[in-house]
Structure 1
Amino acid sequence: MTTDQVQLPAIRVQGLEKSFKDLPVLRGVDFDVARGSIFALLGSNGAGKTTVVKILSTLLEADAGTAGVNGFDVATQAADVRESISLTGQFAAVDEILSGRENLVLVARLRHVADPGRIADDLLERFSLTDAAARKVSTYSGGMRRRLDIAMSLIGDPPVIFLDEPTTGLDPQARLEVWQAVEELAEHGTTVLLTTQYLEEAEQLADRIAILHEGRIIVNGTLAELEQLLPPATVEYVEKRPTLEDVFLAVVGADGKDGDAGNDAVPARKSRGQR
């Protein structure tokens, strides 16, 4: 990578437009993603989040505007972009007949990575899947499959990873497992672009959050910056009832073991900006 590429944002999007027949989906989207950060693209269903990811991963051509990933233009340097990224879609792309380790070894061989067995073992340990390495993926829970899917996407050490609604359909415990895996990606220096429709997910994970609405980015900033858009808070005494997720995690435990339902509350997770 050249010095100029290192100095550029990991992802740069300017004036991106895309329509499907007479339906405009993207109407001039602009944002940058800093290297080694988690950027959440938040929006409701149909807002255009997946369309943005498809354009950035060279699966779809934009009608107008420019986009660059890892210093490469997605339109004119598509091969270089594909070598720089990994894409994890909304559903885990794992082979259920194979074991977890066999899935990883297979992908490592397809990508011509040296010593695929060692790579597989390292990733199994990193994502806390070593004990289940020899089991068929058909026996894995939803969270384990998602973690394996993300682990597979890391083979070859891509500097940029796209996670398109990675926790869709997962239960609260599995979602927490995936959140931990995503946080570890950024800690290892990987740039993550995360699309989600879950407000709490963006709040917990992202360094910066952009809201995509009707084809445009309407706000973009850190959680603290976005909170400044609201009127000043007033102090009131409110009796806070536990959420259903609090009850669930208190009963089963965040690690899947029996929790202590007698506790008054479950400790709240801190967002990345509060750590």
Structure 2
Amino acid sequence: MTTTTLIRPDTVSRPREVERLVAGMATSDGAGVKLTRVLTQPLQRRLDPFLMLDAFGTDNPDDYIGGFPDHPHRGFETVTYMIAGRMRHRDNAGHEGLLQNGGVQWMTAGRGIVHSELPEQEEGRMEGFQLWLNLPAKDKMNAPWYRDIQSESIPQFTTPEGVTARVIAGESHGVAGAVQRDATAPLYLDLHFEAGSHFEQALPATHNAFVYVYRGEVGVGADTRVPEQRMAILANAKDSDGVVLHAQQATRALLIAGHPLNEPIAQYGPFVMNSKEEIFQAVQDFQAGKFGA
């Protein structure tokens, strides 16, 4: 684990409040994998540049054993963060990797890729998240890209107040995350709170942001409580400079923020482009075998 002891505290004087809470929608994907779709398609404009967030977690192998067989993507990035379990990635651009406890797989679909994500376990718990991050129009047809980030390669730090932050993307308290992106400037933190602790994170007022609680309960701002398995969309205020989170009990939560692209979004299943014409072309290219290598 890459642990940083010298940190530069973030100070927030005008924290954001909660605009609304979202419960998510129970669904299944792939070959019957049960999950909760927290960030759904109707929220894409509000939470631009993020397109989707799925949370999955179960001790029942019947809920995940089918995995996600070969399927295509074009026009965005997928970020898969595994809390528990083992999942094998393979794609037709020649990439392969094993996602396991605490690790991240960051894949840029770009102009097109076909990949699979299949469990490498027949029992035990499988838990994690998949986030879809949009690409700007100028990058949607870039070559596919893939990176495995093992748990020990994710920078993390612990604040004097008792919060451990894993910095998957962006920067927090002067600690640079494992991945950086210029256009969308994503911040992706996994925060582990001790009981009675609090955490301040600076955020540009222009960024869209949300918190997802997957253990315990977190307070946002002055008086809003966000319970387990709920997403809090943070309000955009022109004079805000960040967010303040606090927990009365041991809690784990994701804090995700990014710079909106403010571009048209056209989605058809696993293809996300800027127009219907580009979607039609994506379907034709996939059917013609033009994705991947």
TM interval, short-chain normalised: under 0.3
Question: Whose helix proportion is higher, 1 or 2?
Answer: 1
Larger Rg: 1
Task: Return the TM-score normalized by structure 1.
Answer: 0.26
TM-score computed with the length of structure 2 as normaliser: 0.25
The structure where strand makes up a greater share of residues is 2
